[in-house]
Amino acid sequence: MQLAFLGTGSAFSLERYNGAVVVEGRFLLDAGAPVLPHMHRLGLDPGRIEAVLLTHFHGDHLLGLPSFLLYRAFHPTGGQLPVLGPPGVRERIEQLCRLAWSDDWPDARDRAGVTYQEAEAEGEVAENRYQTVKLEHGQMDCRGYRLHLEGRVLAYAGDTTASPPLERLVEGADIAITEATAPAESSVHTSWSEAEALAARHPSTRFIFNHVHSGQLDRAATDLRIMDV
């Protein structure tokens, strides 16, 4: 499975870009990084993205989306581009893109083929099965995804505390991308030691940590890197 890390930082990291991951060249998981130039630098075609999966509506997971969607309006594929996210995804992304592109947005949205899907407990996106787990991230509704791809399961958390829903998200997954924001514990994020303990509890899952504020820990992804896992 090809994982392209466009950004691996936390909300206001000085060292890393905001988070975004492209899976198999087809799925964009969150959209914080400068999505277009970073896809280009990694040799990925923005026109091949079949679906966008958003974990939650914090800016570091979202603000790369308007330019990506506008690109798709100017390079239409003729197909649909589902944007999947927590409840309210349509209103949030419409607000964001109206702010970004003003009255040009409705026409651009239609040309890009953007559709919205609220993440269900279990469903299908771009002909792939997924499940979601509602994670704990302060007041923000954050959904972790389990994507079923070619007989394997990729768990992707977005932002969350180290808590029982996160255990359920990664349980039995082949690969898990989970956050490890900082060494210190936090009421809304996973600390480095909590992330390492999580990985130790699930030894048959390959963990890749992201959403790192500063420094480097084992198993952490780095910006602008493709991993074949």
Contact residues for Zn ion, defined by CB under 5 A: 11, 58, 60, 159
Length of the chain: 229
Instruction: Give the whole-angstrom CA distance, residue 142 versus residue 31.
Output: 14
Of the pair 73, 160, the CB lying nearest Zn ion is at 160
- Minimum gap (Å) between residue 14 Cβ and Zn ion: 15
Of the pair 59, 106, the CB lying nearest Zn ion is at 59
Closest CA to 140 of 160, 125, 124: 160
3-state secondary structure (DSSP) of residue 164: helix
Of the pair 5, 105, the CB lying nearest Zn ion is at 5
String of b and e for 32-47 (b: at least 16 CB within 10 Å)?
A: bbbbbebbeebebebe
- Minimum gap (Å) between residue 224 Cβ and Zn ion: 18
CA 5 distance to own-chain centroid: 10
How far is it between the farthest Cα atoms of the chain?
A: 51
Q: Taking a C-beta distance cutoff of 8 angstroms, is the pair 93, 99 a contact?
A: no
Of the pair 24, 141, the CB lying nearest Zn ion is at 141
Of the pair 58, 72, the CB lying nearest Zn ion is at 58
Instruction: Give the whole-angstrom CA distance, residue 94 versus residue 92.
Output: 5
- Minimum gap (Å) between residue 50 Cβ and Zn ion: 24
- Minimum gap (Å) between residue 215 Cβ and Zn ion: 17
- Minimum gap (Å) between residue 57 Cβ and Zn ion: 8
- Minimum gap (Å) between residue 130 Cβ and Zn ion: 20
Of the pair 50, 60, the CB lying nearest Zn ion is at 60
Q: Taking a C-beta distance cutoff of 8 angstroms, is the pair 157, 169 a contact?
A: yes
